[in-house]
């Protein structure tokens, strides 16, 4: 599971290359589950142009919690020319861009929609040039996330862990006008609207008293 938190700069052991520049705030990474849904967004820090990914929370910016991921697995670095590069930090299980394994310590330029994976982690990162859209997709996922554990979790953790599952409200159904729009006559809308439930007939009057 990727945790969207920044580790203090002094904690990282990553050697910052001299060509490192400032990050562009409109870029980010969207984090995708096996289903393809955006379950998290990784943004760049405003005061530095790199991110270190790995399993050691003491020296990485983004924690990747999978056994195949190295303590310091990979880094993303912004170049002074305003391009972004990915480096594998001599990880044991490798880093891939669009299925291609990177050579260790060799910078590879990344482009929007490039897909990145670390080791055997099921999480997939996609480089995005639209931060606002990424946030919208994440909010849509969190809003529609299932409450049943068998669907809400996977081998790398449950995004709903620690949160109580709330039963969804009863479904509401649109009126004919809401469903069909306003380009219909009142007669057409009335015909499309389901009839109201039939009224129950009044109970029969009590029988007359018997005469002795």
Average pLDDT over residues 11-22: 81
Cβ atoms of 141 and 34 within 8 Å: the answer is no
Tens-place pLDDT, residues 34-47: 877 788 888 888 78
How high is the mean pLDDT of the chain? 74
Q: What is the dihedral angle through the alpha carbons of 105, 109, 112, 113, rounded to the nearest 10 degrees?
A: -50
For residue 62, the tally of other CB atoms under 10 A from its CB is: 24
Q: Which two tokens stand for residue 162?
A: 């620690």
pLDDT the model gives residue 154: 45
pLDDT the model gives residue 117: 95
pLDDT the model gives residue 110: 95
* Residue 72 clears pLDDT 70, i.e. is over it: yes
pLDDT the model gives residue 209: 65
Q: Which of 2-6, 13-17, 76-80 shows the lowest mean pLDDT across its residues? A: 2-6
pLDDT the model gives residue 111: 94
CA 149 from centroid of its chain's CA atoms: 17
Share of the chain above pLDDT 70, in %: 61
- The set of residues, in sequence order, having a beta carbon less than 8 Å from that of 148 and lying 6+ positions away, is 165
Higher per-residue confidence, 18 vs 184:
18
Tens-place pLDDT, residues 105-142: 999 999 999 999 999 998 899 998 878 888 888 787 77
pTM of the model: 0.60
Count helices and strands (H / E) in the chain: 4, 14
Residue among 160, 117, 88, 92 at smallest CA distance from 29 = 117
User: What's the distance, Cα to Cα, between the start and end of the chain in Å?
Assistant: 87
pLDDT the model gives residue 142: 76
Tens-place pLDDT, residues 189-202: 555 555 555 566 66
């Amino acid at each position: 599971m990727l945790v969207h938190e920044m580790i203090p700069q002094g904690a990282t052991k990553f050697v910052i290359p001299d060509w490192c520049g400032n990050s562009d705030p409109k870029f980010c990474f969207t984090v995708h589950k096996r289903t393809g849904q955006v379950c998290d967004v990784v943004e760049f820090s405003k005061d530095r142009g790199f991110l270190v990914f790995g399993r050691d929370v003491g020296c990485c910016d983004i924690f990747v919690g999978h056994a195949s991921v190295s303590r310091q697995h990979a880094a993303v670095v912004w170049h002074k020319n305003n391009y972004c590069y990915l480096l594998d930090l001599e990880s044991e299980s490798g880093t891939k861009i669009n299925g291609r394994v990177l050579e260790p310590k060799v910078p590879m330029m990344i482009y929007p929609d490039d897909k990145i994976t670390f080791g055997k982690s099921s999480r997939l990162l996609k480089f995005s040039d639209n931060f606002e859209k990424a946030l919208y997709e994440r909010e849509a996922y969190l809003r529609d996330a299932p409450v049943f554990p068998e669907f809400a979790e996977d081998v790398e953790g449950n995004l709903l862990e620690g949160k109580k599952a709330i039963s969804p409200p009863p479904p509401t159904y649109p009126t004919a006008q809401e469903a069909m729009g306003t380009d219909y006559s009142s007669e057409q809308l009335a015909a499309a609207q389901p009839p109201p439930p039939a009224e129950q007939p009044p109970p029969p009057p009590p029988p007359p008293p018997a005469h002795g």
